[in-house]
Amino acid sequence: MNMMRTAILMAAMTALFLVVGALLGGQTGMLMALAFAAATNVFAYWNSDKLALAANGAQEIQRADAPDIYDLVAELAGRAQLPMPRVYVVHEDQPNAFATGRNPENAAVAVNTGLVAMLTRQELAGVIAHELAHIKYRDTLTMTITATLAGAISSIAQWGLLFGGNRNNGPGVIGSIALAILAPLAAMLVQMAISRSREYEADRLGAEICGDPNALASALLKISGSAQAIPNENAEANPAMAHMFIVNPLTGQGMDNLFSTHPNVENRVAALQSLASAMGLTRYKSQNSSGFSGPSPWRGGIDRGNSNGGRPRGPWG
């Protein structure tokens, strides 16, 4: 259902681009705007993993650094029939995670230290499986295409407002002003709707990969409440990357509203619980502590000294 919804929304975005382009830019303006938007987003597509990881201060780890985490990612990647992604840790108290990379062969999964400290092993498996689902569905490509179209629509709207639009078959001055304001807004709404549909689909496939929809539902409830209470400075500085995380790292949303990149968590949980019921699974019994053995899943423990601004640190400095 969500795959069909994504296809319909992508078609709507394409139609919006064609209509706005024809009215405001004409064929020449439309092609120029698409070329400009495509060029910027192709660069972002090829470098998105580096940009996202650097912006969040992520550090790559090997198995020797955190064998429990690394082995869990490897196990889940095997279940999903994906190549082993690079594994990163983000020294951030807010519980969250994201995946990036232009394709499964160049993918990375990043988890916040706050996430690992809060969740049981089963819950963390659900979160990582969700991120692997994004990789398997190539959602980075999907969002790049939507960003290209949205950027082209915004460019046409701006050029049309500045240069008077399509003088031959245009909507006139008033119509051009209205389109210049409403077209980018409509494109943004469609883009966010696509993002929400991809989250539902990643929840579904992630639950199948980890084998327990209820564990993922429990994880979502835990981290969504904490994400609203614990600020993420890197995310606040780069709000355009908010859609990458499993829950909104900026602010909580009370419903699946039009301006949200993420569905409401209660709706996601309800969908996962329905899936669990269909799979014949009993309700997951959450725990309050991490399910990893020993005092910490990181080799050498986590140093919570002040040299890193009070944030948790691992053996990587």
Q: Mapping DSSP to helix (H, G, I), strand (E, B) and coil, where does residue 314 land?
A: coil
Contact 292, 120 (CB under 8 A): no
Contact 229, 235 (CB under 8 A): no
Q: Mapping DSSP to helix (H, G, I), strand (E, B) and coil, where does residue 89 land?
A: strand
Rounded CA-CA distance 290/298 in Å is 12
The DSSP bridge partners found for residue 58 are 90
Instruction: Provide the b/e sequence for 126-164 (b: ≥16 CB within 10 Å).
Output: bbbbbbbbbbbbebbebbbbbbbbbbbbbbbbebbbeee
Other residues' Cβ atoms within 10 Å of the Cβ of residue 93:
19
Q: Which two tokens stand for residue 150?
A: 């949205």
H helical segments located in the chain: 2-20, 26-55, 67-79, 113-118, 121-136, 139-163, 172-210, 213-229, 233-237, 265-278
Q: Mapping DSSP to helix (H, G, I), strand (E, B) and coil, where does residue 90 land?
A: strand
Closest CA to 68 of 91, 49, 87: 87
| Cβ-proximal residues to 211 (8 Å cutoff; 6+ apart), any chain | 79
Active-site residue, selected from the candidate residues 92, 131, 199, 201:
131
Residue in this structure with the two tokens 């050498």, named with its chain if needed: 300
Task: Judge whether 131 counts as a catalytic residue.
Answer: yes
The residues assigned a catalytic role are 131
